[in-house]
Amino acid sequence: MTGTITLIARTTENTKTPSVTLRPARPEDADHLAQLYYSSYEQGGVSSLEEAREVIRGVFADEYGPFLPEASPVVVDDDGSVVAAALVVSRRVGDNLPDAPYIFELFTAASRRRQGLAEQLVRCAMSTLFDNGYDQVCLRISEDNAAALALYLTLDFNRWTPETDDV
């Protein structure tokens, strides 16, 4: 088992036009998001569909921090199904995190991976945060998740370490 690292980036306007249909996450998406979340993390994440439902319900209920639906885009397929999502809170509950909006979860259906959806979701979230006056955004990833790290580095995320009071 490996640890996690916290990454942080400056928010910015999105200069790339999305190639997919994006819209804000809505409470009525919760069950579908839970199913997608559970199936997206075959190894790790959550251990059951019920646990996934609890997590997603908790996001919409502000249990992990105030949910920002406008900065939480989902990718919608031609038939209206959500195939990828980024769920963002204004400040993640917990210690040792930056005082910045937090990408709580980012997940994509297995059948839609490697199509640039995650990048488009993060760019959209960052742009919305920028438009709403937020300077930074952060997240945590497993330190051995090379694919996620590569994505975030291309989006100018950097490793964040807490400031210490040692002087």
The model's pLDDT over 30-82, given as tens digits with 9 standing for 90+, comes to 999 999 999 887 655 788 999 999 999 999 999 999 999 999 999 999 888 89
What's the confidence (pLDDT) of residue 164? 59
Identify the top-confidence range among 90-94, 114-118, 121-125. 121-125
C-beta separation of 106 from 137 below 8 A = no
Asked whether residue 165 is domain-assigned, the answer is no
Asked whether residue 167 is domain-assigned, the answer is no
Asked whether residue 101 is domain-assigned, the answer is yes
Query: Mean pLDDT across the chain, nearest whole number?
Result: 90
What's the confidence (pLDDT) of residue 167? 46
d(CA 84, CA 106): 8
The tokens describing 117, both together, are 């959806």
Domain, as residue range, for 31: 4-159
Structural domains of the chain, count: 1
What's the confidence (pLDDT) of residue 44? 59
* pLDDT band (50, 70, 90) for residue 110: confident
Asked whether residue 164 is domain-assigned, the answer is no
High-pLDDT (> 70) share of the chain, %: 94
